Amino acid sequence: MFYKVKYIFVHCYLYVGYLYASVFSLLKVIFFSNVFLGLKKTFLRKSDECVVLGNGPSINSAFEENISFFNDKDIYVVNYFALTKYFDYLKPSCYVLLDPLLFPNSSSDLESNNKLNDLINALNDVSWDLTIYVPYKFKGSIIFSKFDNRNLEFTFFNSTPIDTGTRLNYLFYSLSLGMPTPQTVINAAIFIAVNNEYSKIHLFGVEQSWIKDLSVSDNNEISVSLDHFYAGQSSLGRHSSLNTLSAFLHTQFLCFKSHEILNQYAIHRNVMIFNRTPNSYIDAYRKVVEK
């Protein structure tokens, strides 16, 4: 009798948990997503395969050793890739931006950000068709008044984090009403690529191994270094996620959990994801690394 009551209690507990997560996700969609935007098809792919390029240090060797691999594939790049020597050579099809620092609301914030202004200038010089994906919540940023290049097409997407713990996720994701937590721009880029219906997605430069450079000082100050192929190693600075060790580790949990959900969703959509990044900490995707 005791075990029967325990069995019923556990299943009721799980059911209530899933119900709460589902209702909460629906409320987030209602209040934070643009429903009509979610039903819009965003990009006409030119190839059946695509490459998503992160900014990890292995990118340099990837270009040197596998440059022909990128031919005849749609290429997705992120963040400040336009400031690198490879941008004009590769002529990517899609550009994904996510960091709130890229979308200032005031002229003074924009003028004081030299790197952002360099990015704007680089994108204004693009001579090929380029689709730039931007979270819908940043639609009002002053940055969009600075673009005057007709080759750029801005496509807004719902970056609302959704996780019901059930297959209901797939309904929200397939309608682009939300996505697995976009903890990093790579999470967002992979999700967009899956929804653009490629058969294969190849990942380069996505080490996401920041935790190996994590340190805690004698004053309990948390610090971590970020490696970028175009800028070497730099400190993250006093980012809010570094106030406590638990806060930083929580961001890492969200990042890698998002990859797991993305892989499950990709399988649901018959999309294969291959991680071609040496020494990558992402364990959610099949690794294909040249020895």
Phi and psi at 198, nearest 5°, equal: -80, 155
pLDDT at 170 over 60: yes
For residue 136, the model assigns a pLDDT of: 95
For residue 226, the model assigns a pLDDT of: 66
Q: Choose the weakest-confidence range: 55-64, 119-128, 129-138, 172-181.
A: 55-64
Q: Choose the weakest-confidence range: 101-115, 170-184, 207-221.
A: 207-221
pLDDT at 16 over 70: no
pLDDT at 7 over 70: no
DSSP string, 83-111: GSTTHHHH--SEEE---GGGS-SSHHHHH
Cα 282 to the center of its chain, rounded Å: 13
What's the pLDDT band for 218 if we cut at 50, 70, 90? confident
Buried b (16+ CB within 10 A) or exposed e, 149-186: eeeeeebbbbbbbbbbeeebbeebbebbbbbbbbbbbb
Return the closest-CA partner of residue 83 out of 102, 69, 64.
Answer: 102
What's the pLDDT band for 220 if we cut at 50, 70, 90? confident
For residue 234, the model assigns a pLDDT of: 52
What's the pLDDT band for 263 if we cut at 50, 70, 90? very high
Pairing of strands 222-228, 232-235: antiparallel
Q: Which two tokens stand for residue 90?
A: 């590769």
Q: Using one digit for the tens of pLDDT, what is the confidence trace for 83-97? A: 998 999 999 999 999
Strand partners, 51: 75, 202
Highest mean pLDDT among 106-110, 163-167, 169-173: 169-173
pLDDT at 141 over 90: yes
Compute the average pLDDT of residues 111-130. Answer: 94
Percent of the chain predicted with pLDDT > 90: 55
Return the closest-CA partner of residue 57 out of 284, 211, 209, 182.
Answer: 209
Q: Which two tokens stand for residue 145?
A: 């008044």
Mean pLDDT over the full length of the chain: 86
For residue 11, the model assigns a pLDDT of: 52
Cα 106 to the center of its chain, rounded Å: 25
Using CB atoms within 10 Å of the CB of residue 85, give its burial: 0 to 12 exposed, 13 to 18 middle, 19+ buried: exposed
For residue 8, the model assigns a pLDDT of: 58
Q: Using one digit for the tens of pLDDT, what is the confidence trace for 39-54? A: 666 667 788 999 999 9
pTM value is 0.90
pLDDT at 18 over 80: no
pLDDT at 192 over 80: yes
Q: Hunting for tokens 């175009």 — which residue is that?
A: 230
